[in-house]
Amino acid sequence: MQRPVIGVIGNSYLINDQYPAHAAGTMNCEAVARVSGGLPLIVPSDPDHVTVDDLMATCDGFVFTGGRPNVHPEEYGEAETPAHGTFDRCRDRIALPLIRACVDAGLPILGICRGFQEVNVAMGGTLHPEIRDLEGRDNHRMPDGSLEEKFAMRHEVTFTEGGPFAKLMGRAKVMTNSLHGQGIKTAGDRIVVDGWAPDGTPEATYIKDAKGFTLSVQWHPEYQADKDAVSRPLFAAFGDAARAYRAER
Ligand SMILES: N[C@@H](CCC(=O)NCCCC(=O)O)C(=O)O
């Protein structure tokens, strides 16, 4: 069977501060190709170029990747403030309806960092603009330094005993990296938080009663996914779900 086609939801960049480009991190495509066994297809996140129907007809799964710009707070009914940072309204306009359509259709999705936050907002949840400013919460932002230092293990994540993440990982606690400023404030409809950082920040979710794969994580499993004992089962299970979806349709 042909490999499942995995839409890798991209971000907008200005190369050399001048040349507009749609791109997705190489690590995401490597994880999809090497660990999920899928064909990575980078998606330009702009409703002028792609539609939800086009994408669903083409792809057997989607990775909603990380990205610096935050989901616009209007998407969850809050007014914009300086704390909300920068936005990518084009990605919001594709990613949020695409997530809802995939959940309805049972098409597998994997949310990563910004993608994890998008899944929550798409289902009606809200976000804190800056979790390190909250009482008792830690700084989860990306550290300075080399790529190795940025993606180094930073904190434990504890999963619900017997939940899908604990079953997938074969253990209730794992170590993860951490490269985000925002976090889930209220969980959306059917969003089940299944893993937490030591400060209580939600780190792993799934969508209750969804027909397809819906696991999402606040950390970045795409970093060295083929070598990492936490990333590997996640991308492998996502690939299995996309293969099953492709075989069925
Ligand atoms: N904007 C959100 C999400 C953070 C996130 O996805 N970080 C990864 C950035 C990787 C990149 O620059 O491509 C937040 O800060 O919470």
CATH number of the CATH domain containing 199: 3.40.50.880
Tell me how far the alpha carbon of residue 91 is from its chain's centroid: 13
Given a cut of 90, whether residue 189 has pLDDT beyond it is yes
**CA–CA dist 211, 245 (Å, integer):** 10
The count of other CB atoms within 10 Å of the CB of residue 229 is 11
Q: Which two tokens stand for residue 119?
A: 């899944």
Average pLDDT over residues 24-33: 98
**CA–CA dist 46, 141 (Å, integer):** 27
Q: How many domains does the chain have?
A: 1
Characterise 136 by phi-psi region: left (phi > 0), alpha (psi -120 to 50), beta (else). Answer: left
The whole-number pLDDT of residue 1 equals 82
Mean of per-residue pLDDT scores for the chain: 97
The whole-number pLDDT of residue 129 equals 97
The whole-number pLDDT of residue 140 equals 97
Given a cut of 90, whether residue 133 has pLDDT beyond it is yes
The whole-number pLDDT of residue 83 equals 93
Pocket of ligand 1 (CB under 6 A): 25, 66-68, 70, 113-114, 179-182
Average pLDDT over residues 135-153: 97
pTM above 0.90?
Answer: yes
* β-bridge mates for residue 21, sequence order: 13
Residue with tokens 């939600």: 202
Pocket test for ligand 1, best of 114, 127, 128, 140 (most atoms within 8 A of CB): 114
**CA–CA dist 40, 169 (Å, integer):** 24
The whole-number pLDDT of residue 232 equals 98
Given a cut of 90, whether residue 56 has pLDDT beyond it is yes
Average pLDDT over residues 149-177: 98
Given a cut of 90, whether residue 186 has pLDDT beyond it is yes
Range of the domain at 102: 5-248
Q: Which two tokens stand for residue 202?
A: 């939600």
Look up residue 70 and give its amino acid: N
